[in-house]
């Protein structure tokens, strides 16, 4: 059997398992997913209430919501898999990878955007901005000390709760430990990046940064390749689509494996000896690892071994599973889009109906996704026990499956793009998330005139007219220009555009682009809240000078 027919066979097997799910399991799944939906929107609603009293409670609310969601997912998976790891163990082992997956693939951004929408609608954008500012650890020494104190305290508290859980085995202690861990990770994510930014700025002012710039310039001159640019373009072209297409479904399946109870050895066992028998260097290293991150045994290794188990199932199975996973998400995305269109057409407040859209995504689609995960992991185990050798070499299977996935991804990108981007022409106005975005009047020149100033460059200036309209408070829109395999940010450094509710804001946006990059055409990409639209610029003839009006003009249509 060729790799392609094996892939189709695996896809068919997974589909067939859906029909064999007992009716009683459907009920349990629906209840668990509804509980997850309640946790998600309940935490957003409560966050909107408590933020007035104390902004920091936002982190506690979101942490509670995420742990409740994870608990529902684990409960549902345990029901579908017919057992597996003990609930508290599964919770402890999946919290870190679950949040990592959520963070890496934009789910945490999603919940924060939803909270922002609720606060914007109730209190206005300035209130939210003030609130977020007050949570900046660099805004005052008191906040900085407070953040560090809470981070340390939550780390110590979690370690104590885990110790108590190991002693007592009570699920409620495991739950409390997971909540504290989520608070720790959220705080680190929300406040930690500001400290990292500050450190990067500080480093940028040091001599070390100029030495590094000189070294990179020397390398660029020697090999004629801008290495950081090359890496960024490579990641954008290959890494991001690959992550969305392959890593997300595989990470979810590995999480299901952890819940199913995949056994992983301890770090000491991997090093070939019990801890007491380890050499002094290894023991010291292990002690450092323990002190900084004692969770390697409990949280990292189970996920890594589950991931390994998933990969052992073979490329044809992975190809079939990944395709099915994306079919499901394509269905969810399409239904979501139709509901959003219906809400817009009805003129209703989208925020009021937000949980209705979430009901479809979080109960129906996520429920089906969990069914798929359970079926897929059971198939992983069957394949492991069968240990049937593949008639074709592994590399050939990988190549064939890769080619199929790439073909599907290309087909998908022809209609919606990898990131779900809709195609539009210059002059059109399209819906991007909750915003209506238009790009018009594209032109390019050797010189751009902004107000009284004329700017010259060895490269070309591309100017487009951007318009953004929101009937209700909505997320901001980011704009970039894609040409010659590179993405260009707006020349003036403005990273986002928005409009007040009921207003249409327009302004010219200027990009400075390599002349050679424009030979193959260019497009403008507008993104908002995970949605995107690409406006193909078509053929543009450069002129000597173009004028840009970067001041924002508003009308209330």
- Which of 15, 34, 144, 550 lies at the binding interface for another protein (CB under 8 A)? 34
Contact status: 472 vs another protein (CB under 8 A): yes
Among residue numbers 513 through 532, which ones bind another protein (CB under 8 A)?
Answer: none
In angstroms, the CA 150 to CA 155 distance is 8
- Per CB under 8 A, which region of 34-42, 102-110, 299-307, 489-497 contacts another protein? 34-42
Residue 186 binds to another protein (criterion: CB under 8 A): no
| Least CB distance to another protein at residue 41 (A) | 6
Q: Which of residues 93-122 bind another protein (CB under 8 A)?
A: 118, 121-122
Site string for another protein, 293-332 (x = CB under 8 A): ----------------------------------------
Q: Would you say 232 and 224 are in contact if contact means Cβ atoms under 8 Å apart?
A: no
**Residue 400 binds to another protein (criterion: CB under 8 A):** no
Contact with another protein (CB under 8 A): which of 4, 15, 143, 340?
143
In whole angstroms, what is the distance from residue 104 CA to residue 99 CA? Answer: 8
CA-to-CA distance for 126 and 50, rounded, in angstroms? 17
Residue 38 binding another protein, by CB under 8 A: yes
Minimum distance between the CB of residue 215 and another protein, rounded to whole angstroms? Answer: 37
- How far is residue 487's CA from residue 482's CA, in Å, rounded to a whole number? 4
Which tokens is 251 given?
């990470």
Judged by CB under 8 A, the stretch of 11-19, 137-145, 260-268, 509-517 that binds another protein is 137-145
List the structure tokens of 48.
Answer: 């909107």
81 binds another protein (CB under 8 A): no
Nearer Cβ to another protein (330/472) = 472
> For residue 420, what are its two tokens?
């779900």
Among 41-49, 276-284, 422-430, 479-487, the segment contacting another protein (CB under 8 A): 41-49
485 binds another protein (CB under 8 A): no
Residues whose CB is less than 8 angstroms from the CB of residue 430 and which lie 6 or more positions away in sequence, other chains included: 422, 424, 436, 437, 438, 533
Query: Does 542 help bind another protein (rule: CB under 8 A)?
Result: no
Q: Which is nearer to another protein, 116 or 322 (CB)?
A: 116
Which residue of 15, 42, 290, 423 would you call a contact of another protein, by CB under 8 A? 42
Residue 361 beta carbon to another protein: minimum distance, rounded to whole angstroms: 15
The two structure tokens encoding residue 306? 């589950």
Contact status: 27 vs another protein (CB under 8 A): yes
Question: Smallest distance from the beta carbon of 432 to another protein, in angstroms?
Answer: 19
What order do you get walking across the sheet with 522-528 strand by strand?
421-425, 531-536, 522-528, 478-483, 486-488
| Secondary structure (DSSP) of 469-518 | EESS----BEEEEEETTEEE--TT----B---TTEEEEEEEEEEE-TGGG
CA dihedral 65, 68, 72, 75 (to 10 degrees): 160
Do 273 and 280 meet the contact criterion of CB atoms below 8 Å apart? no
| Interaction between residue 199 and another protein (CB under 8 A) | no
Q: For another protein, which residue of 82, 83, 124, 204 counts as binding (CB under 8 A)?
A: 124
**Other C-beta atoms lying within 10 Å of the C-beta of residue 308:** 13
Name residues contacting another protein, limited to 232-271 (CB under 8 A). none
Q: Is 136 in the site for another protein (CB under 8 A)?
A: yes
CB of 102 to another protein, least distance (A): 21
CA distances from 505 to 310, 439, 556, 557 (A): 49, 12, 9, 11
CB of 102 closer than 8 Å to CB of 109: no
Q: Which stretch binds another protein (CB under 8 A): 43-51, 299-307, 478-486, 511-519?
A: 43-51
The CA distance from 304 to 384, in Å, is 17
Helix axes 87-104, 171-204, angle to 10 degrees: 30
Q: What's the chain's length in residues?
A: 557
Which of the ranges 138-146, 210-218, 419-427, 542-550 carries the binding residues for another protein, by CB under 8 A?
138-146
Q: How many residues bind another protein (CB under 8 A)?
A: 48
Stretch that binds another protein, among 124-132, 175-183, 390-398, 483-491 (CB under 8 A): 124-132
Q: How far is the CB of 37 from another protein (least distance, A)?
A: 7
Q: Does 23 bind another protein (CB under 8 A)?
A: no
Q: Which one of 6-14, 31-39, 230-238, 259-267 is the stretch in contact with another protein (CB under 8 A)? A: 31-39
Tell me which of 106, 110, 192, 355 binds another protein, using CB under 8 A.
355
Which value, to the nearest 10 degrees, does the dihedral of the CA atoms of residues 72, 77, 83, 85 take? -70
CB 432 within 8 A of CB 525: no
d(CA 43, CA 47): 6
Query: In terms of CB distance, is 48 or 97 closer to another protein?
Result: 48
- Judge contact between 442 and 494, C-beta under 8 A: no
Residue 82 interacts with another protein (CB under 8 A): yes or no: no
Of the listed pieces 93-101, 273-281, 306-314, 495-503, which binds another protein according to CB under 8 A? Answer: 495-503
Report yes or no: 170 and 88 within 8 Å, Cβ to Cβ. Answer: yes
Query: Considering the complex, what minimum distance in angstroms separates the CB of residue 36 from another protein?
Result: 10
342 binds another protein (CB under 8 A): no
Query: Exactly one of 5, 133, 334, 516 binds another protein (CB under 8 A); which one?
Result: 133
DSSP helix/strand/coil, 56: coil
Contact of 115 with 62, CB cutoff 8 Å: yes
Q: How far apart are CA 381 and CA 317, in angstroms?
A: 12
Residue 543, helix vs strand vs coil: strand
Q: Degrees (nearest 5) of the Cα angle 98, 298, 102?
A: 10
List interacting residues with another protein (CB under 8 A): 24, 27-28, 31, 34-35, 37-38, 41-42, 45, 48-49, 52, 79, 118, 121-127, 130, 133-134, 136, 139-140, 142-143, 349-352, 355, 471-473, 500-503, 553-557
């Amino acid at each position: 059997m060729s790799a392609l027919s094996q892939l189709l066979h695996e896809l068919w097997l997974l589909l067939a398992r859906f029909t064999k799910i007992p009716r009683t399991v459907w009920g349990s799944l629906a209840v668990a997913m509804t509980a997850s939906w309640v946790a998600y929107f309940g935490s957003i609603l409560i966050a909107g209430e408590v933020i007035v009293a104390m902004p920091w409670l936002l982190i506690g609310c979101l942490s509670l919501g995420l742990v409740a969601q994870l608990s529902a997912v684990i409960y549902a998976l345990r029901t579908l898999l017919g057992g597996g790891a003990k609930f508290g163990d599964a919770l402890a082992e999946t919290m870190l990878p679950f949040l990592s997956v959520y963070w890496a693939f934009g789910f945490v951004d999603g919940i924060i955007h939803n909270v922002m929408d609720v606060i914007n609608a109730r209190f206005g954008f300035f209130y939210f901005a003030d609130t977020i500012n007050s949570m900046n650890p660099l805004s005052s020494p008191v906040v900085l000390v407070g953040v560090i104190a809470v981070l340390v305290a939550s780390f110590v508290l979690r370690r104590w709760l885990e110790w108590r859980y190991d002693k007592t085995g009570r699920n409620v202690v495991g739950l409390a430990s997971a909540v504290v861990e989520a608070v720790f990770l959220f705080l680190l994510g929300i406040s930690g990046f500001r400290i990292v930014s500050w450190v990067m700025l500080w480093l940028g002012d040091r001599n070390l940064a100029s030495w590094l710039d000189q070294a990179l310039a020397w390398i660029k001159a020697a090999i004629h390749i801008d290495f950081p640019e090359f890496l960024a373009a490579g990641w954008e072209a290959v890494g991001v689509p690959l992550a969305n297409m392959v890593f997300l479904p595989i990470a979810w399946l590995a999480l299901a494996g952890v819940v199913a109870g995949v056994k992983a050895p301890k770090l000491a066992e991997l090093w070939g000896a019990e801890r007491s028998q380890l050499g002094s260097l290894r023991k010291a290293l292990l002690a450092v690892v323990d002190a900084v991150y004692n969770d390697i045994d409990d949280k990292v290794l189970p996920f890594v071994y589950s991931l390994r188990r998933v990969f052992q199932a073979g490329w044809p199975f992975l190809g079939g599973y990944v395709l099915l996973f994306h079919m499901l998400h394509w269905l969810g995305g399409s239904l979501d889009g139709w509901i959003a269109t219906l809400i817009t057409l009805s003129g209703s407040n989208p925020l009021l109906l937000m949980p209705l859209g979430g009901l479809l995504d979080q109960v129906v689609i996520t429920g089906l996704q969990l069914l798929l995960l359970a079926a897929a992991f059971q198939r992983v185990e069957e394949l492991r026990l069968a240990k049937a050798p593949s008639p074709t070499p592994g590399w050939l299977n990988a190549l064939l499956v890769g080619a199929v996935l790439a073909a599907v991804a290309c087909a998908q990108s022809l209609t919606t793009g990898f990131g779900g981007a809709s195609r539009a022409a210059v002059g059109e106005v399209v819906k991007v998330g909750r915003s209506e975005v238009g790009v018009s009047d594209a032109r390019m020149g050797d010189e751009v005139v902004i107000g009284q100033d004329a700017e010259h460059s060895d490269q070309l200036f591309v100017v487009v007219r951007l318009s953004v309209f929101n009937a209700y408070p909505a997320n901001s829109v980011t704009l970039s220009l894609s040409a010659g395999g590179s993405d260009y940010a707006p020349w003036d450094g403005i990273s986002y555009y928005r409009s007040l509710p009921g207003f249409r804001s327009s302004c010219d946006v200027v990009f400075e682009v390599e002349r050679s990059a424009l030979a193959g055409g260019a497009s403008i990409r507008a993104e908002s809240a995970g949605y995107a639209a690409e406006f193909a610029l078509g053929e543009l003839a450069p002129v000597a000078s173009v004028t840009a009006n970067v001041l924002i003009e508003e009308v209330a249509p």
